[in-house]
A = this chain, B = another copy of it.
Amino acid sequence: MSAARGRGRPRDPETDTAILTAALELFVERGVEGTSMEQVAKRAGVGKLTVYRRWNSKEELIAQAVEQWVSAEVTPSAADVYALSPQAIVEHVLPPAAEMAASVGFRALVARIMGCAVSHPELMAIYWKHYILPRRELAAAMLRRAQQDGTVAADADLDVLIDMMAGAVTYRVLQPDPPDATEMLRYLTSVYRQAGLYPPAG
């Protein structure tokens, strides 16, 4: 990946980002089937050959565009789980998560990725590996600690419980009439409370 300083004219790195950005936008707007290399090149302000030189297929390009996007997000450190109080963690994690989940861009991208689950499993796999799994690790750590504290049943199936939490959010986000950030925060709080990660309302 490093610029090995080849012989001839080096590739313009801004061209890469322009193509990836255009590809991601088009994927979100029109889906895989509705996107073409020609559209990508046009929107990126670039010749088609420039796209073809770097990616052999639409699928590969979109996959990398998605990977770049979902990998850009940072997960709160898993070490914090043991350094802070459970309640502090939750209160630290939830507001940015609500902001994220309520944003139109996130909603649109998640919808498209879910829509590809069967037809383009690679995209789902990328999303799963780079976005979901790190957050599951964090959630698992929180739940294990909550089990020690007794607020989550010791015999609970954590994988299922995590699915319920993450699934509820995804599900809610894709519903008709999706929530705004404020409502989403309330919703997340309710989910965490139901799971046993947050004390009952006072």
Supposing A33-B34, A164-B167, A168-B164 touch, asked if A116 and B124 sit within 8 A by C-beta, the answer is no
What is the total number of copies of this protein in its complex? 2
A123 CA to B162 CA, complexed, in Å = 28
A3 contacts partner chain B, Cβ-Cβ < 8 Å? no
Q: Is the Cβ of A128 less than 8 Å from the Cβ of B29?
A: no
A47 contacts partner chain B, Cβ-Cβ < 8 Å? no
Supposing A124-B176, A194-B160 touch, asked if A107 and B117 sit within 8 A by C-beta, the answer is yes
Among residues of B, the one whose C-beta sits closest to the C-beta of A109 is B118
Q: Is the Cβ of B124 less than 8 Å from the Cβ of A174?
A: yes
Q: Is the Cβ of B191 less than 8 Å from the Cβ of A160?
A: yes
A163 contacts partner chain B, Cβ-Cβ < 8 Å? yes
**Is chain A's interface secondary structure helix, strand, loop, or mixed overall?**
helix
Of B32, B176, B191, which is within 8 A of A128 by CB?
Answer: B176
Measured as residues with beta carbon below 8 angstroms from the partner, the interface class of chain A is 35 or more
A100 contacts which chain B residues (CB < 8 A)? none
Whole-angstrom distance from the CB of A77 to the nearest CB of chain B? 25
A202 CA to B195 CA, complexed, in Å = 22
A97 contacts partner chain B, Cβ-Cβ < 8 Å? no
A44 CA to B31 CA, complexed, in Å = 25
Of B128, B172, B194, which is within 8 A of A161 by CB?
Answer: B194
A68 contacts which chain B residues (CB < 8 A)? none
Whole-angstrom distance from the CB of A163 to the nearest CB of chain B? 4
A172 CA to B136 CA, complexed, in Å = 14
A121 contacts partner chain B, Cβ-Cβ < 8 Å? yes
Among residues of B, the one whose C-beta sits closest to the C-beta of A105 is B118
A164 contacts which chain B residues (CB < 8 A)? 164-165, 167-168, 191, 194-195
A151 contacts which chain B residues (CB < 8 A)? none
5 contacts between A and B (CB under 8 A): A112-B115, A114-B117, A117-B174, A128-B176, A166-B167
